[in-house]
Amino acid sequence: MKIDWILNGGYAGRDQSEVQHHIDELAALGVPAPKTTPTLYPLSQHLVSQGTLLQAPHARSSGEAEWAMIVGDNPDDILIAAACDHTDRALEVHGVAWSKQSFPDMIGDVAWRYADIEASLDGFTLQGWVSHGGTELLIQDGTPAQLLSPRYWIDRLRAAGLLRAGTLLLSGTIPMTPGIDQFAEGWRVALADGAGNVSRVAYRVDVLPRAWE
């Protein structure tokens, strides 16, 4: 499916205490708090990938486990998949919108039609793992019920004239487990329906050589 517009939701938890938890997580990295929540960040069209390698200019970038919503030719034809929003944390302290332009949104390999799962999506699991030295650690463990629903975003985008064919929206993320290093050699995300169907994102992060200046 051709992606023409990319939108990243942020600070989009249903429970405001969890939203504040994520704001506090980012504040510890020097990221300023948003003026309002939820937030919405438009990205350049090319910033989407289903690849297995992400090349970073430094070691201060990390992913976030999310779901993705893809709008088909008909605004009622909507797909849901796993996603990982990879972000430049060093740049994020200067501007979240800028940092979102630094890396692609990584999208899962399987998608569900939203019409088929709307009633059950809250019961899915949403998990993220990081890799360090060949060891994988569970850093995010939750459900889509912690996040604003696709229906919320459908209504908001429709009202704003942004519910267009070829639109990709990422949901915002769930809290990370304290004490686990998010600046990892690899990220893996899984969105699972409990019936054996799983949408997966998995990629390694390679830090590029230093620039010669």
* Residue range 98-132, pLDDT digits in tens: 899 999 999 999 999 999 999 999 999 999 999 99
The pLDDT assigned to 12 comes to 92
Contact 178, 19 (CB under 8 A): no
Largest Cα–Cα distance of the chain, in whole Å? 55
Residue 85's pLDDT band, with cuts at 50, 70 and 90, is: very high
- pLDDT of 37 > 80? The answer is yes
User: What is the Cα–Cα distance from 7 to 129, expressed in whole angstroms?
Assistant: 24
The pLDDT assigned to 165 comes to 96
The pLDDT assigned to 180 comes to 97
User: What is the Cα–Cα distance from 134 to 100, expressed in whole angstroms?
Assistant: 27
- pLDDT of 187 > 80? The answer is yes
Confidence (pTM) = 0.94
Residue 18's pLDDT band, with cuts at 50, 70 and 90, is: confident
Average pLDDT in the chain: 94
Q: What is the pLDDT of residues 41-83, one digit of tens each?
A: 999 999 999 999 999 999 999 999 999 999 999 878 999 999 9
Q: How far is CA 20 from CA 14, 25, 53, 103, in A?
A: 11, 9, 31, 25
Residue 28's pLDDT band, with cuts at 50, 70 and 90, is: confident
